[in-house]
């Protein structure tokens, strides 16, 4: 418990410092906020455009599909606002040798590189996610407490899996000079998470569940909110999350062991 408390304190301090730093440059902050708002609108608009033609898509009504989009926006807000800016900096730090400064600090290196930077403009994604979820509830009714609890558990599994996937991709920067293309590829593949998993064919469903597990974060919790869940779905989500988290930690520790510093 003491290690968890210390990690929480360190993470909170780093995030607070990052936000204070961002607020020092108000014009940049305002511009990023405006660009973030446009990005959020552009992300959400296709959902409304598609449902102007059909009442249902792959068995999903608009309020039900709005749950998927809401969860996708939440994912975009968390990954884009916290995970991607931090882990993306690891690539340049390893390349320049500044990663030495991370290793010199008396805290876990993975924690330090995961929470030292925040992209405030992604707050629009989180706010839009909340508003869209509220609209879905007003149109389709509130989920039962049990379904909501299951959905929350699946959401945690999805977030853990996607973070672990990003960490494994970034760990490759310790061996390869540039992994930027791989990061962009992950974002492009994760974009499929804005649509219900039933829209895709069998092989695509497998990829989006077990390889790039974005469906665990969007479609699985949304299906749970609809009451479409069972123990096998929970076991699958938990198994995928544990596998990704363990694999990412092993990849990270192996990457650290191979790091020799740019000054060596």
Q: Is the pLDDT of residue 234 over 80?
A: yes
Q: How confident is the model at residue 57 (pLDDT cuts 50, 70, 90)?
A: confident
- CA–CA separation, 36 and 49 (whole Å): 21
Q: What is the pLDDT of residue 160?
A: 92
Residues 6+ apart with CB under 8 A from 181: none
The answer to whether 66 touches 47, Cβ cutoff 8 Å, is yes
The CB-side HSE value for 183 (13 A sphere, CA atoms) comes to 21
Q: What is the CA radius of gyration of the chain?
A: 19
Tens of pLDDT, residue by residue over 84-142, are 777 777 777 777 777 777 777 777 778 777 777 777 777 888 888 888 888 888 887 88
- CA–CA separation, 186 and 88 (whole Å): 13
Q: How confident is the model at residue 9 (pLDDT cuts 50, 70, 90)?
A: low
Q: Is the pLDDT of residue 12 over 70?
A: no
Q: What is the pTM of this model?
A: 0.83
Tens of pLDDT, residue by residue over 209-218, are 888 889 888 9
Pick the more confident residue, 67 or 264: 67
Nearest to 123 by CA among 80, 88, 162: 80
Average pLDDT over residues 159-179: 84
Residue written as token pair 């991607």: 84
Q: Is the pLDDT of residue 264 over 60?
A: no
If you average pLDDT over every residue of the chain, what do you get? 81
For the chain, percent of residues with pLDDT exceeding 70:
83
Residue 149 in tokens: 């609890």
Q: What is the pLDDT of residue 31?
A: 62
Give the DSSP per-residue string, 51-79.
Answer: HTT-SEETTEEHHHHHHHHHHHHHHHHHI
Tens of pLDDT, residue by residue over 137-155, are 888 788 899 999 999 999 9
Average pLDDT over residues 65-77: 89
Residue written as token pair 């992604």: 122
The phi-psi region of residue 21 (left if phi > 0; otherwise alpha if psi is between -120 and 50; otherwise beta) is: alpha
Q: What is the pLDDT of residue 237?
A: 92
Give the DSSP per-residue string, 126-180.
Answer: HHHHHHHHHHHHHHH-PPPHHHHHHHHHHHHHHHHHHHHHHHHHHHGGGTSS--H
């Amino acid at each position: 418990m003491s290690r968890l408390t210390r990690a929480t304190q360190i993470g909170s301090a780093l995030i607070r410092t990052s936000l204070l730093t961002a607020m020092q440059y108000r014009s940049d902050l305002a511009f990023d906020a405006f660009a973030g708002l446009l990005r959020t609108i552009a992300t959400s608009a296709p959902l409304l455009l598609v449902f102007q033609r059909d009442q249902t898509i792959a068995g999903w009504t608009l309020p039900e599909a709005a749950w998927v989009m809401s969860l996708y926006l939440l994912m975009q807000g968390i990954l884009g606002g916290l995970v991607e800016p931090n882990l993306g900096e690891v690539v340049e730090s390893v390349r320049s040798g500044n990663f030495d400064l991370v290793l010199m600090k008396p805290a876990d290196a993975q924690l330090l590189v995961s929470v030292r930077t925040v992209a405030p403009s992604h707050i629009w994604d989180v706010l839009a996610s909340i508003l869209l979820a509220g609209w879905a509830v007003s149109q389709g009714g509130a989920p039962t407490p049990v379904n909501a609890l299951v959905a929350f558990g699946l959401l945690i599994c999805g977030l853990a899996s996607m973070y672990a996937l990003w960490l494994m991709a970034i760990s490759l920067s310790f061996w390869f000079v540039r992994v930027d293309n791989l990061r962009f590829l992950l974002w492009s593949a994760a974009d499929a998470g804005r649509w219900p998993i039933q829209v895709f064919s069998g092989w695509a469903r497998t990829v989006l569940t077990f390889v790039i597990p974005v469906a665990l974060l969007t479609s699985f919790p949304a299906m749970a909110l609809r009451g479409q869940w069972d123990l096998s779905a929970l076991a699958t989500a938990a198994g995928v999350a544990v596998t990704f988290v363990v694999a990412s930690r092993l990849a990270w520790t192996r990457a650290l062991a191979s790091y020799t510093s740019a000054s060596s």
